[in-house]
Chain A
Amino acid sequence: MRRAFSAATMVAALALAVAACGGGDSGTTAAPAQSAAADPSKVSGEITWWDTVRPDSEGPTFQALIKEFQAKYPNIKVKYVNVPSDQAQNQFQTAAQAGTGAPDVIRSEVAWTPQFASLGYLQPLDGSRAVENEADFLPGPLSSTKYNGKTYAVPQVTDTLALIYNKRLLAEAGHEKAPTTVEELKQAALDVKAKTGASGLALNVDSYFLLPFMYGEGGDLLDVQNKKITVNSPANVKAMETVADLVASGAAPKPAIQDSYANAMTALKDGKTAMIYNGPWALSEIYQGKEFQDKANLGIAPVPAGSVKAGAPTGGWNLAIYAGSKNLDASYEFVRFMSSAESQARVAKEISLLPTRPSAYDKPEVQANEAVSVFKPIMETATARPWIPEGGQLFQPLLEGYQSLIGGQATPEDMLKKVDDQYRGIFKDWS
C-alpha cells in the first residue's frame, strides 16, 4: 500500500515537473525586442513571477499591480507566486541549476543579484525593453544591478535601516528629540530605563543590524577595490566595543539570540522598549501594535552616528529575469511596468516601500506618505554594500561573531579576528 502510494506520488510529481517545463511555451519570440516601442497587444505569453513580500500586508498591492498590467497587456498572463524571502534565494538557485521550475521573473534581493548573475542564471538586460530611462534611478540601488559591466536587474524598491522609536516613552524620559549619536542613544536609553520602567533599546542580533555601528566608526567588511579584507580593523573594534557597552551598561537589555528580530518588534509594539533599529518594511507590522494605534506616537530618525558618520546599509529588491525564460519579451514588459515611476509611486503610497526612482519621490501621492518622506533623506546617506557574488556569504561568520559577542564568549578583538579568518577562507587570493 505504502509503496503504491509513493509511486503514485512520484508519477504525479514527474507529471508536474514535465508540465512546468512545457508550461510557458505558447507564443515565443526569442530575439530581444530592442528598445523599439512594443505594441502591448502583440506581446504574449505566460510568465511566472516569484514575489518575496509579506503576503498579507504587502502582497495585495502587488497583485493589484499585476491586474493593472494584464489589463494593459491582454495577451500576457502573469502567474503570481509568493515565496518567503528567506527561502527564495535557495529555491531559485536549486531550480535554475536544475533547469526546471525556475520562474521567468524573480524579485531578487540586492545582494543576491550579483551572485545569480555570476552563476549565469540571469538574462543580461542591456538594450532590452526591461530597462527604461536608467538615468532616473538612485545610484546606490542601481549599482547593485551591475555585474562585470552588464546590467542584470532593475531596481524595484530600496530600503535602509533607521532608528524607530516610541515618542511617548522618550518624552517621559525627558527626550523630545531622537538621539543623533551613539552616546546620545545610550543616554536616552538609560533615561528611559530609569524613568519609565520600559527598556531603552532592543538590539537585533543579526549581521545586517550590526553594519550601522561599523559604518558609523568608518569601518567596513571589505575593501573591494583593493581586494582587501578589512573587517578586523580598529574602527570595527571600536564599533563592537560600543555594541558590547550598550548591553553591559544596561542601555539595551541582553537580547535573545534566537528570534531577536521578532522579540525586538514585539517589545516595541507593546511599549516594552523605546527604540529599535529597523527598516521601512517593518512599518506596516509596527503600526498594528497597540502602542501605535495613534500613528503619531511612532518616531523615525536616521540611525545614530558613530564617531565618523551616521551610516546605514543599503538594502532593497531588484527585478531580474531568468536567462532560461521562454517568454523573454513578456518578462521585459513586466519588469518595465513594475519598475516604472507610476508603479513605484503606487507601492510607496500604499505600503510605504521606498521607490528607487527620484521621479517617483516627486509625485504628490508619495510626498504625502509620511514614512517615505522620513526615509528619503536617510536613504541619501545610506552606504552601498559591496555588490560581489560572495556578498551573501559575508553574513554567516558575522552573525556567529555577533552571537558570541552578545553571549560574552568573545571579546570584540577575538570576534573580529575569527570573522576575518572565515572571510579569508572565502576570498582566498585577497590580502
Chain B
Amino acid sequence: MALSTGRASSTARDRTAGSGGARGQDRHQRPGPLRRVMGRHWYAWAMVAPVILVTALLIGWPLARGVYLSLTDATEATMGRTIGVNVIPSTYEFVGLDNYISILTSSLFWDKLTWTIVWTVACVALHYGLGLGLAMLLNRRVRFRSTYRLLLILPWAIPGFVSAFIWRYLYNSDYGVINGMLKAAGLGAVGWLDDPTTAKIAVVAVNVWMGVPFMMVAVLGGLQSIPGELYEAAEVDGATPWQRFRFITVPGLRTVSSTVILLGTIWTFNMFPVIFLISGGGPGSSTEILVTYAFREAFTGIRNYSGSAAWGVIILMLLVVLALVYRRALRRQGEVW
C-alpha cells in the first residue's frame, strides 16, 4: 500500500517536472536517506504502522516464541504455571538443535515428507489441470453458463469440515453411498479408507474436489483478460486450436498460473482438515502429512510443545525454500513476480 501511494505521487510529479525530476530535486537538497524516505512517504508510513504493529504482534511474536520453544525440551509437564494451590516450577531447558536432529534422523519424518510431497504434487497437478479445463469450457458462450459456474463454485463455498464429513460418509465401507453404487452395479465393495493405497486415493480425490473451484475461478479470470483479438488474428493466420492454446492461452495465463500454483502448493502442503477429518491419518499412519503429525504431537496426551514447534519450524522452512526456488525459476523465465 505504502509503495503504491508513493509511486503514484511520484509519477504525478514526474509528469509535471519531466523525467527524473523528483529524484533529481531530492539529490540536490541531500537530506539523510531516512529523512528523505520519511519526508516523502510519512503519510504512507503512518498508515501502515498499525498494520505492521499488529502483524508483528500476531505473527512475529508467536513465530519467535515457536522458534525459541523448538530449541528447548518444553512439554506441558515441564512448563511452569500456578493454578490455585498448585504451583509447578518451570523445569524445561535449552537443548539447542536436539529436537531438529532427532526429527531429521527419524525414518518417520522422511516417510511423512515423501508422502506429503506426493500428496501435494498430485493434488496441485489435478487442481490446476481440471481447473484449467473447466475454465476453458466456461469461457465459451454456452447456455446456462452462470448456472454452471455457480454449481462448480459450490464445493468451495461449503466449509471444509462439512465437506470432509460428507465425504467420510460417502466412503463408509458398509453403509457408504459409493460402495452402495458399486454393489448396485454388481461390483464388489471397496474398503476405501481401510487400505493405505485406496485411502491415499480417497483423500486426494476429496482435496481435488474442494480445490478445483478456486483454480477454476482464478484461471477463468486470467482467460477473460486475454484479448479476443489475439485469437481472431491467430485464426486468420491459420493457427490450429492447439497452436492457439499453446501460444496465446498459456503465455496469457502465466502470471495467474504461477501465483495460484504457488498458493495451491502451500495450501495443499498444509491441508489439515481433509486428512484429519476423513482418514484421521489412518489406516495406521499411512495418510498422515507433516502438519497432521505436528498437530498430533502438540495436542494429544501430555502436549509436546518443543517437538511440535520444531516440526512447525521445519515445515515453515520447507515452504520458504520452496517459494524461493519457485520465484527464482519464474524469474529465469523472464516472469516478474
Contact = CB atoms under 8 A, between A and B. Distances in A.
A258 B83 contact: no
Interface string A391-430: 0110010011001101101000000000000000000000
A400 B280 contact: no
A181 interface: no
30 contacts: A97-B76, A97-B81, A99-B83, A118-B302, A119-B88, A119-B302, A120-B86, A120-B87, A120-B88, A121-B83, A122-B86, A254-B194, A256-B172, A258-B168, A258-B172, A258-B193, A258-B279, A258-B280, A263-B174, A266-B175, A323-B83, A324-B83, A389-B302, A393-B300, A399-B282, A400-B282, A400-B285, A403-B284, A407-B284, A409-B284
Contacts of B174: 256, 263, 266-267
A120 B81 contact: yes
A132 interface: no
Interface centre among B171, B278, B284 (most CB of A within 10 A): B284
Contact of B301 (A124, A263, A390, A399): A390
Interface in B78-94: 79, 81, 83-88
A409 B168 CA distance: 22
Interface of A: 90, 93, 96-97, 99, 115, 118-124, 254, 256-259, 263, 266-267, 322-325, 328, 389-390, 392-393, 396, 399-400, 403-404, 406-407, 409
B327 interface: no
Contacts of B14: none
Interface of B: 76-77, 79, 81, 83-88, 168, 171-175, 191, 193-196, 278-280, 282-285, 296, 299-303
Contacts, number: 102
Nearest to B173: A256
Nearest to B192: A258
B282 A409 contact: no
A122 B85 CA distance: 9
B83 A96 contact: yes
B284 A404 contact: yes
A259 B172 contact: yes
Best-buried of A99, A122, A259, A400 by chain B (most CB within 10 Å): A259
B177 to A, nearest CB: 14
A299 B78 CA distance: 48
A273 to B, nearest CB: 10
B254 to A, nearest CB: 28
Nearest to A418: B284
B69 to A, nearest CB: 13
B84 A323 contact: yes
Given A258-B278, A393-B300, 20 more contacts: A96-B83, A119-B76, A119-B77, A120-B81, A120-B86, A121-B86, A123-B86, A256-B193, A256-B194, A258-B168, A258-B173, A263-B172, A324-B83, A324-B84, A392-B302, A399-B282, A404-B283, A407-B196, A407-B284, A409-B196
Contacts of A90: 299
B299 A257 contact: no
Nearest to B81: A120
Contacts of B175: 263, 266
Contacts of A404: 283-284
Tell me which of B86, B173, B174, B191 has the highest count of chain A C-beta atoms within 10 A of its own C-beta. Answer: B174
Contacts of B283: 257, 400, 403-404, 407, 409
B303 A93 contact: yes
